[in-house]
Amino acid sequence: MTKRNPKAADGETRRAILDMLKKGGPARADTMAESLGISAMAVRQHLKTLADQGMVSEQQMASTKGRPAKLWALTEQSNKAFPDGHQELAVSLIDCMRDTFGPDGLARIIDARAEQQKMIYKTRLQSAGDDLKSQVAALAAAREAEGYMAELQQDAEGNLLLVENHCPICSAASACRSLCARELEVFQSVLGPDISVERTDHILAGARRCAYRISARP
């Protein structure tokens, strides 16, 4: 007889708890235990694990029988555990804009987004030091906040590298390559004409990351 993997079983139970809270809303631990056919103590242990992961939180609800009832509810972060159609939506919207407004219309929309990015990044860089390293570090922090897993590095020659280990808009960029082209222009614009920005690695070209070599022009 094949033994069941305890870790797999725990994962299935926590998945069931998340699904239950998603479909039914906040619930008591003992109520969930009854539905799952396990002990309330076991459910509380799973809830603690989920709470440590930021997926659920405890709430207090007034009760007519004395002490407030303790309910468990999903957090905003728990949305990551459920299907997400943002990528498909982004690609679909790009296709619709191209069909409706034509290539020139889509280009104008991409340009408008680029101008918006420039304003956001320039504001972030204004609070950073004037030296190039501080400016690039501030740009990396802004990109990190947008989900690019960005960091500042230096290559063997001492040049600054803005490294992005993840592309949260990869599907959209694949459908509209001008998004990537505009990003390079945005970086160049916010860092200024005296700075050279060169893309050395590109995820869409098969690299594992995107990287930009940044240096002062001679």
Closest Cα to residue 176, out of 116, 120, 118, 92?
92
Q: For residue 159, is it within any domain?
A: yes
Residue 119 identity? M
Same structural domain, 95 and 183 = yes
Which residue is associated with the tokens 């459908």? 175
Helix axes 29-36, 40-52, angle to 10 degrees: 110
Same structural domain, 56 and 91 = no
Other beta carbons within 10 Å of 102 = 11
Residues near 146 by beta carbon (within 8 Å), at least 6 away in sequence: 168
Same structural domain, 91 and 75 = no
Q: With contact defined as beta carbons under 8 Å apart, do 113 and 101 qualify?
A: no
Same structural domain, 11 and 49 = yes
Residue after which a domain boundary falls, among 24, 56, 81:
81
Same structural domain, 101 and 207 = yes
Helix axes 86-126, 178-191, angle to 10 degrees: 10
Closest Cα to residue 17, out of 36, 40, 37, 41?
36
Strands (DSSP E) contained in 13-116 are 56-61, 69-74
Element at 164 (helix H, strand E): strand 160-164
Residue 159 structural domain: 87-216
Give the global pTM.
Answer: 0.71
Indicate the SS3 state at residue 46.
Answer: helix
1: which strand partners? none
Same structural domain, 76 and 162 = no
Residue after which a domain boundary falls, among 56, 81, 106:
81
Same structural domain, 97 and 166 = yes
Residue 204 identity? L
CATH number at residue 27: 1.10.10.10
Residue after which a domain boundary falls, among 35, 61, 81:
81
Split into its structural domains, the chain has a count of 2
pLDDT tens, per residue, the chain with 218 residues: 445 456 667 789 999 999 999 999 999 999 999 999 999 999 999 999 999 999 999 988 766 666 777 899 999 899 888 887 888 889 999 999 999 999 999 999 999 999 999 999 999 999 999 999 999 999 999 999 999 999 999 988 889 999 999 999 998 999 998 999 899 999 999 999 999 999 999 999 999 999 999 999 98
In angstroms, how far is the first alpha carbon of the chain from the final one? 72
Q: For residue 1, is it within any domain?
A: no
